[in-house]
Structure 1
Amino acid sequence: MASSPIMSGTATPALPAHWRDFVALTKPRVMTLVVFTGLCGLLAAPDHIHPVLAFTAILCIALGAGAAATLNQWYEADIDAKMKRTANRPLPAGRMDRQSALHFGVGLSFFSVILMGMATNLLAAAVLTVSILFYVFVYTIWLKPRTAQNIVIGGAAGAFPPVIGWAAVTGDISALPVALFMLIFFWTPPHFWSLALFVRTDYAAAGIPMLPVVAGEVTTRRQIWLYTAIMAVAALAPVLLRLTGPIYGTAAIVGTAIFAALAFQVYRHRETDPANMAPEKRLFKYSILYLFLLFGAVVVDRWLLP
């Protein structure tokens, strides 16, 4: 039977949701980067942790991220139905009722936090709790529908995984995980705004005040360039503070130089047709590779040059 978009929160599909729809709610593609940065925080930590406990900690980070994504989609089901790139998600497409998504998200949240506390320590569980609550209540419910700076402040939600991974091993939070947090925090605006430039019409249709919608494309390009400069400082901070060595330093310099070159192309670009926004799409795709590169370099650096 063909499905139809949910136009209100009361619509209920005739058949139970497929297990693939529950997986889709967790945004597994987005979760990949979250898990990787959390794993790198764990592997870069100076202490040792049993492999089974390490696996459990990373599983909890993944489940926590999936819980936050699920609750985000539960809250934004009506908004997602108005955007082409999200209209086929399980809730707006009518393949699942909102109550099932809510129960699934809340259940995953509690399970991930409790398991993290039992397997590692209370600090890691507490930071995981903060990350979930921040994404759902601060970013999704408060910031996203109200301000064009939503992704600037809300970017903190995605910056917690390396801190959680580090805390799971050490039971504390020191300078390096904080530096990695700041790197992701300042990386988030140019990453998401480059995406927002070529899906601006989607956000406008849904009434989401993303920066290109409320401030225009020229301002957004300028802000991408500005935050890239700030991000470059954050990327070099671990080297300047002598928290990492030459392997990370080389990766940070080369990787950030490429990022800056792509961001400058976006800054200079004046195309308004989403179909002709190649520089914006290149920056968005490279920004994901960039974070994988730098976080991988942190681990290699710490392991080869302790």
Structure 2
Amino acid sequence: MASAAVTGIGDRPALPAHLPADWRDLLALTKPRVLTLVVFTGLCGLLVAPGHLHPVLAFTAILCITLGAGAAGALNQWYEADRDALMKRTARRPLPDGRMHKQTALHFGVGLGVFSVLLMGVATNWLAAAILAVSILFYVVVYTIWLKPRTAQNIVIGGAAGAFPPLIGWAAVTGDVAALPIALFALIFFWTPPHFWALSLFVRMDYANAGIPMLPVVAGEVATRRQILLYTAIMGVAALAPVLLQLTGPIYGLTALVGTAIFAVMALQVSFHRESDPARMKPEKRLFKYSILYLFLLFGAVVVDRWMLPV
């Protein structure tokens, strides 16, 4: 079994001496690249919600989603600093690189999270604030602390952490939760496994060295490629559900159909890939990059669809 490749993390390298941190290190703690997609899906949830929110309050709601997601990223890096030091992909982050004390990251993450939830509650409503709080705690406690170091299903269950923003954006406007934001939550939830398993295929040794039981490490690449194809099929159903349930119109429907078909072709290429020319980009890398664009396209289409052709 490939699970033997999972190594213990008892012999972790000592983190280097701490250097003075600056604002760029604090920004890096929030995982800015991840924030882009989180903020966009939250914004789309807000824009398609019925009703009206004053522009200042709408901006505040998106700011709160941004700060909350940043807090979750900071607390994730605080908890995983020693593991990050073992992976090439993360070794240059502020904590493993010794540019910041762990206590600074902890205080920053907790402070940012508490502030974002309180501000959301005061500026919009406490349902949106509660969902934001749940999303932060889910990512930090359920995914980072509990699931990620213990099970290869970490991404399957933990995918819920990144699926909350549309619910939060919608709730900020309406004060409730409805079928469309739930459908968008499901889309992100089922999109997450093929997205992250594609990534884990080409950074598998990083996860193995850090003792993280990602699917390619414990089950092998062949099983992972099959699972990517399986979850792509499930994701496809979730992607088409909004139009099938008449929650959106033809603009979203066409975008989802074409975009998902391209995703499925790429997933098939990943599933049946065998090593060939090492100079060519592997299909899992192509799928990973496209999967990000895919979510941007579908959520953008929801907004265009709802604004141009209200259902």
TM-score range (shorter-chain normalised) is over 0.9
- Following superposition, which runs of at least 4 residues in structure 1 exceed 4 angstroms of deviation? 272-277
Is 1:43 aligned to 2:47, yes or no?
yes
Q: Which runs of 5+ in 2 are unaligned?
A: 1-11
| Identity between Structure 1 and Structure 2 (%) | 81
Tell me the alpha carbon deviations over residues 177-236 of structure 1, each in whole angstroms, 9 at most, x when there is no partner: 000000000000000000000000100000000000000000000000000000000000
User: Does structure 2 retain, via aligned residues, the 8 Å contact 1:271–1:277?
Assistant: no
Distance in 2 (alpha carbons) for counterparts of 1:67 and 1:79: 19
> What are the residue-to-residue correspondences of 1:75-154 with 2, within 5 Å?
75-154=79-158
Name the aligned partner's letter for residue 235 of structure 2: M
- Tell me the equivalent position of 1:3: none
Aligned pair count reads: 299
**CA offset at residue 272 of structure 1?**
9.2
Q: Is the 8 A contact 1:84 1:202 kept in 2?
A: yes
CA distance in 2, matches of 1:22, 1:89: 10
Distance 2:274 2:114 in 1: 46
Letter paired with 2:284: E
TM-score, L = length of structure 1: 0.95
2:183 to 167, 179, 186: 179
Structure 1 residues 276 and 81: alpha-carbon distance in aligned structure 2, compared to 1, 3 A threshold: farther
Pairs within 5 Å for 1:233-272: 233-271=237-275
Q: Distance in 2 between matches of 1:29 and 1:210?
A: 21
Q: Report if the CA contact (8 A) 1:198-1:274 is conserved.
A: no
Per chain length, whose mean CA-contact separation is higher, i.e. which structure has more relative contact order (CA < 8 Å, sep 6+)? 2
User: Do the aligned partners of residues 16 and 231 (structure 1) sit closer, same or farther apart at CA in structure 2, a change above 3 Å counting?
Assistant: same
Map of 2:230 onto structure 1: 226
Q: Which runs of 5 or more structure 1 residues have no equivalent in the other structure? A: 1-5
Say whether the 8 Å CA contact 1:197–1:212 is kept in structure 2.
Answer: yes
- Tell me the residue number matched to 1:20: 24
Instruction: Give the drift of 1:18.
Output: 1.1
Q: Distance in 2 between matches of 1:115 and 1:251?
A: 35
Cα distance change of structure 1 residues 27 and 224 upon mapping to structure 2, 3 Å threshold: same
- 1:188 is matched by which residue type in structure 2? T
Q: Which residue of 1 aligns with 2:295?
A: 291
- Residue number in structure 2 paired with 1:300: 304
RMSD between aligned residues: 1.4
Aligned mates of 1:241, 1:181 — CA distance in 2:
15
Q: TM-score, normalised by structure 2?
A: 0.94
